[in-house]
Amino acid sequence: MNDSERLAIAAHLHVALRRKTGRVTDTEWMASDTAYGQAMAQFALNHARSHQDAELERLALRFAASLPGAPAPAAATMGTAGAAADAAAPGLVASAKRYVGGLR
């Protein structure tokens, strides 16, 4: 996936996070920094799971899959979101702790 496609997906995720959680993200940084991107994808997946939000889950999985080195996500339903999210982007939980609750 090229950088402009990843940036477009990040922009969609940014808008959804802002609307649904009030979280403000840095779209360009999310698309260029893998650790920050993984943290924001994990944040979105956690929110999607806790609020049964299929749209946000879809965007988060799509963005996580667009990050360099990430395997393609398996198709998931809300019932299997946790397993699919873990398979889609390993290491998201560790990187999320670094950014969630911080300045960004």
- Residue 5 predicted with pLDDT over 80: yes
Q: Is 58 within a domain? A: yes
Q: Is residue 16 part of a domain?
A: yes
94 found inside a domain: yes
Q: Is 104 within a domain? A: no
pTM score? 0.68
Name the domain count of the chain: 1
Q: How far apart are CA 77 and CA 33, in angstroms?
A: 28
Q: How confident is the model at residue 83 (pLDDT cuts 50, 70, 90)?
A: very low
For residue 88, what are the domain limits?
3-99
Q: What is the mean pLDDT of residues 70-87?
A: 47
Amino acid 98: pLDDT:
58
Contact 91, 68 (CB under 8 A): no
82 within a domain of the structure (yes/no):
yes
Please give the pLDDT value at position 2.
85
- Both tokens of 38, joined, read 């993984």
21/95: higher pLDDT = 21
**Each residue's pLDDT tens digit, 20-52:** 999 899 999 999 999 999 999 999 999 999 999
Assess if residue 28 is contained within a domain.
yes
